[in-house]
């Protein structure tokens, strides 16, 4: 266990997953799917990933006062994520994600944000310090801005889903994490600050920039793909842990890429999140 302290500020969802042979075209119905429920939400996934990879993790989030909340929080509780800053909303429902996954592991996701959309700056203020703060954009930008004021060595934002944000927030971040679509959405604005930008490239691996210059690149690891849901969140949590621990940039990118590779080999966002010992064994085998 690394012992670095990470504060996750973000979403908690219950994922309703239908696994099918192929994804439907617009207006089409696909039958014969297998149904399952899993805890999810980018914020919760990344917090749990960091916890399983050795960090001491606190989660700041909102859930509804409903049956979905306990199911959505089950693995966070089980694996020791601190939920003392969790807010239970009396009116809004717990967030839900409707996910279809095909036989190749590709997916379509629709999210009903519910209580996630009501996370407020006051829910975040007064928390800290931490070695790293990790946010996403499934909660209001004002809450992410408040997270940027927490006393931390590493303020990281996964810019997903891609939304307009103040330029100052991008420049304030020590680490921005994007996929190819998000990188295209934000364009050159990603590189105006002095911090790092990590870009995942699907089958082409991942690349890490600092102050606009490439500092590390990793090819993708060849593994059997079962379900890609949660792989990006695993990458985010792993990269935050590695950098908070002081790993060199190339080693941190390798650690995050290895963790993400293991995540696609199992079903479900949170059930697929790997443990530290498994990532280290995987990377040792690939050395």
Other Cβ atoms closer than 10 A to 24: 15
Is 233 an active-site residue?
A: yes
Catalytic-labelled residue, pool 79, 233, 278, 285: 233
What would the 3-class secondary structure string for the chain be?
CCCCEEEEECCCEEEEEEECCCCCCCCCCCCCCEEEEEEECHHHHHHHHHHHCCCEEEEECEEECCHHHHHHHHHHHHCCCECCCCEEECCCCCEEEEEEECCCCCEEEEEECHHHHHCCHHHHCCCCCEEEEEECCCCCHHHHHHHCCCCEEEEEEECCCCCCCCHHHHHHCCEEEECHHHHHHHHHHHHCCCCEEEEECHHHCEEEEECCEEEEEECCCCCCCCCCCCHHHHHHHHHHHHHHCCCCHHHHHHHHHHHHHHHCCCCCCCCCCCCHHHHHHHHHHHC
State how far the Cα of 9 lies from the Cα of 6, in Å rounded to an integer: 10
Which are the catalytic amino acids? 233
């Amino acid at each position: 266990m690394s012992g670095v302290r990470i504060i996750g500020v973000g979403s908690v969802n219950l994922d309703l997953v239908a696994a099918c042979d192929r994804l439907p075209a617009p207006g089409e119905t696909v039958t014969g799917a297998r149904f399952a429920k899993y805890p999810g939400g980018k914020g919760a996934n990344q917090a749990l990933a960091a916890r399983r990879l050795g960090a001491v993790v606190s989660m700041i989030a909102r859930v509804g006062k409903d049956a979905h909340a306990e199911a959505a929080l089950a693995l966070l509780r089980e694996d020791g994520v601190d939920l003392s800053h969790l807010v239970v909303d009396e009116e809004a429902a717990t967030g839900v994600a409707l996910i279809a996954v095909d036989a190749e592991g590709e997916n379509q996701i629709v999210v009903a944000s519910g209580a996630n959309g009501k996370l407020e700056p006051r829910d975040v203020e007064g928390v800290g310090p931490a070695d790293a703060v990790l946010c996403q954009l499934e909660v209001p930008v004002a809450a992410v801005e408040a997270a940027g004021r927490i006393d931390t060595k590493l303020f990281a934002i996964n810019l997903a889903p891609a939304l307009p944000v103040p330029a100052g927030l991008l420049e304030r971040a020590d680490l921005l994490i994007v996929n190819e679509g998000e990188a295209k959405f934000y364009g050159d604005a990603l590189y105006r600050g002095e911090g790092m930008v990590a870009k995942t490239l699907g089958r082409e691996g991942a690349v890490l920039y600092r102050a606009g210059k490439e500092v590390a690149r990793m090819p993708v690891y060849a593994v059997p793909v079962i379900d890609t849901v949660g792989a990006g969140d695993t990458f985010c949590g792993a990269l935050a842990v590695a950098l908070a621990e002081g790993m060199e940039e190339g080693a941190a990118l390798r650690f995050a890429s290895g963790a993400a590779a293991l995540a696609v080999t199992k079903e479900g966002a949170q059930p697929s999140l790997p443990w530290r010992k498994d990532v280290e064994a995987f990377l040792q085998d690939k050395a």
